[in-house]
Amino acid sequence: MSVPTRLLVPARDASYGGFAGPRDSRGNAHRDSGHAGAVMSTWFTADLHLGHANIIQYCARPFTDVEAMNRALIEQWNEVVDDGDDVWVLGDVAMGKIIDTLALVGELRGRKHLLTGNHDRCWDGHGRRAEGWEERYLDAGFTAIHHRQIEVEVGASTAVACHFPYRGDSKDHDRFVEQRPVDRGRWLLHGHVHERWRQHGRMINVGTDGWGYRPVSEAQIGDLIADDPQDRAPVTD
């Protein structure tokens, strides 16, 4: 099923990002994906870091080099995602030589929606340095670009989605504190922490390091929410 969303904070003005193309009623940059028919499934992921060679060492990813990592992430994504599916990428999709790595988005199946993170060139936290980048991400294959945080329906439940968790980090201290959502006791889907956890209380890390390097389905997220707040380590198989 599709996941309806609404912004909890206003998106920045179109002129700020330098994107002159269409935006929806909430101000999000979007482009017609060209797909027709009903959405089959909805998936979530984050922190692919395509093209980022050092992430293999930083997060102990089981790949021999960055090319092997890129191929594995693309292949495992395409094993579970169909062309008619929606995929929400909660930030940090590509790094390295961006002209090459961002182009890899076009090899990923599904309608891809980006909720930006601090390593995305179009992230509004970059200020004027983000100008012009939304259009390049749309050209690469994203259907829509969102910023900061949104609300998503997951089955019968609702949750906040943001690149950043309420607290916790991939580093030893919390960064980007001003960009994080306020913890009001709601479920949160996020990325940013890489292999630190899969679930920590009401925070569910959808990042690829926590889920065997593939997207996690809406049904899997719904099962975690139905099972109440817990702490869960990353999937290791």
Alpha helices in the chain, H assignment, sequence order: 14-17, 55-58, 66-80, 98-101, 133-140, 218-226
pLDDT value of residue 30: 58
pLDDT of 236 > 50? The answer is yes
CA atoms within 13 A on the CB side of 119: 24
Distance of alpha carbon 205 from its chain centroid, rounded? 10
Mean pLDDT of the chain: 85
Backbone angles phi, psi at 69, to 5 degrees: -65, -50
The CATH number assigned to the domain holding 83 equals 3.60.21.10
Domain presence at residue 170: yes
pLDDT in tens, 75-115: 999 999 999 999 999 999 999 999 999 999 999 999 999 99
Q: Which residues contact 215 (CB under 8 A, 6 or more apart)?
A: 43, 44, 45, 77, 80, 81, 87, 206, 208
Domain presence at residue 210: yes
* 3-state DSSP assignment of residue 11: coil
Distance of alpha carbon 127 from its chain centroid, rounded? 20
* 3-state DSSP assignment of residue 161: strand
The whole-number average pLDDT for the span 41-53 is: 96
Q: Which residues contact 30 (CB under 8 A, 6 or more apart)?
A: 22, 23, 24, 138, 143, 144, 145
Pairing of β 149-154 and β 157-162? antiparallel
Q: How many domains does the chain have?
A: 1
Alpha helices in 108-177, H assignment, sequence order: 133-140
Domain presence at residue 101: yes
pLDDT in tens, 148-200: 999 999 988 999 999 999 986 777 777 767 888 998 999 999 998 888 889 99
Domain presence at residue 30: no
- What is the extent of the structural domain holding 186? 5-25+39-232
Q: How confident is the model at residue 208 (pLDDT cuts 50, 70, 90)?
A: very high
Least confident of 30-39, 62-71, 162-171, 197-206: 30-39
Domain presence at residue 32: no
- On the 0-12 / 13-18 / 19+ scale of CB atoms within 10 A, 88 is buried
pLDDT value of residue 178: 81
